[in-house]
Amino acid sequence: MKSANSFVIGAAAAALLAGLVYVNALHNPFVYDDYHTVVQNPSIQDMRNLRALLLHDVTRPVISISYAIDRAIWGAAPFGFHVTSVLLHMLNVVLLFHVARRLSGNQLVAFSAAALFAVHPMMTEAVGYISGRSEVLCTTWFLAALLCGRRWVRGDGPRWGVATVGLWVCALATKETAAMFPFVFAAYDWLASGDEAIEKRRRLMRVHAPLAAVAVAGGLVRVAVLARIEYPGQVYVHWSYLLLNLDVVRQYFGLMINPTHQTIFHSVKNLDGPLDPRVALDIAVIGAVAAAAWQVRRTEWMGTFGIFWFLLALVPSAALIMLDQGEPMTEHRVYLASGGLFLSIGAAIGWLRVHLDDADAWLRRGAAAMFVLVLAAFSAETIKRNLVWSDPVTLWGESVALAPAHYRPRLLLGEALVDAGRREEAVEQFQAAIDLRPTDPTGYLKLGRLLAQVGRTREARQHLLKAIEIDPRNASARQALSVLDAVESKPGPHGDRR
């Protein structure tokens, strides 16, 4: 009974921390991709239209259903969507606590891992950004599947195997990152099990290999959909980006340890080949972490498992980078992977606690105080990050300040300024984007539209024509030019043409 009570108290305390640090995110507005995934998504407006829900985003139907449920319960305002995301994060904190407790048998390890996960500021982009829901909900299914998989390989009955596969399928239908579950699950079974090697190999062939084969086949199908349906003729493998992946993973490690300079847009510089000094740094950092994890696999296997989990969960985003799809580095991609890293940190804290048993009381109290200070610092930073996300102008202004030489944050800051009614400032940002990347039609299109709105039609026409010159098939620019022609051809108040 005492153990059960301590479990409930520890899990509830960690979940409460998660809820408290995200209270100030509940009234944040829709931002960036939210307009595509939620505001302008017709499939979520009527839950009875199941066909539309399932086909709007055929590779992620579960996330569409979750948005539709939110809209049905809360309405179209962002508040309800934020409430669901925060509640899911709190549930994930409890599930991670459960995973850590079952794997370690140690309350301190479990609370340390779950509490850090609850308040770490690197989680804000997944939890506080409505379009980050796919990461949060995928992690819910993933953690639940891992708990069921543990019971399955322990021999508690085939129903746990059915539950494991079912939950994994739900995770896959939420986000493709879940394709790495069979590999994470296999790493857990191999490291945690005390069975003889022959028994481990038997389970590897009968349980893990079939799941991995399904994951690989599903990954190939997903790439085919990406290449043939979503972006026909635009998907190629860029092997040179393999080194870039190492740099991104190293930066993720750095942000997890010291979450400074967070931003919605990370400008990642390309590497100048294998001799670039950053390559040596990347290999040194990642190699040292992997080597340390491997070294303690027999004495602190949970720490090893956590590092493997972290690295494996980043493989799908690495594949996207090599296909040149999406941004190279985005903070929400760390959400699922971070569960493994927090397990490793929790295991390290448990190890430290054991080795401090014979130390002076003041040293033990100092270590406890240090952990509390870290939690407090992370909590404060998370609350601050939520405030940044409350104002799109501030959010994109931060990105411009951190990546002043990149054109994309300028475009998005310009859009935020237009929405805020600050049109003259928006003109400056769109022009800056054009100056930074004069061969991209997007800046000309956005600036042309804005200039037309403020009555500067001659300049607007020049920019729209430039967008068409760069991209003759640009339908948006042609449509904007047609609207401008129609406006100018209307008779003025005295019958003259404008």
| Contact partners, residue 269, CB within 8 Å, separation at least 6 | none
- In 3D, which of 215, 172, 185, 177 has the Cα closest to residue 319? 177
**Which CATH architecture describes the domain 393-489?**
Alpha Horseshoe (1.25)
* DSSP H/E element including 87: helix 78-104
What pLDDT is attached to residue 52?
85
Q: Are 97 and 114 in contact (CB under 8 A)?
A: yes
What pLDDT is attached to residue 498?
43
Q: Residue 421: left (phi > 0), alpha (psi -120 to 50), or beta?
A: left
User: At 97, phi and psi to the nearest 5?
Assistant: -60, -45
Task: Dig out the tokens for 368 from the structure.
Answer: 């406890």
The 8-class DSSP code of residue 42 comes to: G
- In 3D, which of 121, 175, 172, 122 has the Cα closest to residue 145? 172
* Other C-beta atoms lying within 10 Å of the C-beta of residue 67: 23
pTM above 0.85, yes or no: yes
What pLDDT is attached to residue 228?
79
Whole-angstrom Cα Rg for the chain = 25
User: At 49, phi and psi to the nearest 5?
Assistant: -85, 75
CA–CA dist 183, 57 (Å, integer): 26
Task: Dig out the tokens for 482 from the structure.
Answer: 């047609």
Q: Show the low-confidence residues of the chain (pLDDT under 70).
A: 1-4, 490-498
Q: Which amino acid is at 1?
A: M
| Contact partners, residue 381, CB within 8 Å, separation at least 6 | 121, 259
Sole residue written with tokens 């990546």: 403
- Overall residue count recorded for the chain in this entry: 498
Which value, to the nearest 10 degrees, does the dihedral of the CA atoms of residues 465, 470, 471, 477 take? -30
What pLDDT is attached to residue 329?
92
What pLDDT is attached to residue 235?
74
Task: Output the CA torsion sign for 177, 180, 182, 187.
Answer: negative
Q: Where are the domains of the chain?
A: 2-30+77-389, 393-489
The 8-class DSSP code of residue 227 comes to: I
CA–CA dist 454, 448 (Å, integer): 10
Residues 187-215, buried b or exposed e (16+ Cβ, 10 A)? bbbbbbeeeeeeebeebeeebbeebbebb
> Distance from CA of residue 272 to its chain's centroid?
27
- In 3D, which of 54, 314, 325 has the Cα closest to residue 184? 314
What do you get for the CA distance between the two ends of the chain, in Å?
82
- In 3D, which of 302, 354, 292, 257 has the Cα closest to residue 101? 302
What's the number of CA atoms in the CB half-sphere (13 Å) around residue 410? 22
